A and B are shown apart, each in its own frame.
Chain A
């Protein structure tokens, strides 16, 4: 992942985030996904998939849905990052590429995906580092990260305020995680 200081984040990304009118004080991943789906008026389905280790996620637009496949074998924090990256492709209307040998044809057929096109997030290469769309998506995730951190909710990206489920309502009530 290549990251940039916030000053070099494009104004387009900043505008897209602002237009979302999302309250990052209440950031939760699934809530954010739903918000974007409503904003774009097209459902977004998150699908876990046992990709090889170097493939982290894929965005595949279909007729009635946007599918975001994510590698189910990677740690949660990596999955979240990948999902946010794919959401960026959706929001920023990035051009799609032909996806060869990423998803089984029968799966694509079942999902009514006519053309196997989309965006792939995988282990970075020199090519992907030069791809502006990939860089823009990483920048988008960076902005979301900063917004969430500013809203003191890094825990939502990392799934932790307390690791003990029964204690979380109590710590939330105390305002401990802010």
Chain B
């Protein structure tokens, strides 16, 4: 696409899912992959300035390896306003089944408005029962939940209780499901892996270190604003 000097600037937002084997692609690799996807889509992109221009895009909350998601957001800067369904189709045509955009729209809400993320953590663990769920719920509702968090200045003990808005464990007959709402505020982001780690250490779920007969999976489902409206 030829970049016209005085081209406009439009931000189109995509909501997409990242499922199945794609949970093993890191966020960094996702960013690199998305650069190529948008180029293949032939959408009228805007590029960053400087020595190493890349298509202008921003992702919302990063996703860890091992977490699937129905709720990923990408803001893509365009030089022309493109019809939403055309943009959606253009992007999806260049991706596989496991990563598809479900919605494309123009908006001026910011990713900083995204404050809470809901997850379902599923566990196939020894001793899965209603009683185990009660113990999990008790552990997650205590005032202090201390974990060792990796920060830029080293490993620090952090109380993550305030970062759990709600958590409810129930047993569906086969697996333990924990439906929870965790903080997505960038300065206080809670990765659900920390919650799983805490439960392994304090409640004793998933006690097999090799996790062959036991396993867990995490699904990111929905995003919310500070006043609990669905983030869009």
* A, B in one complex: no
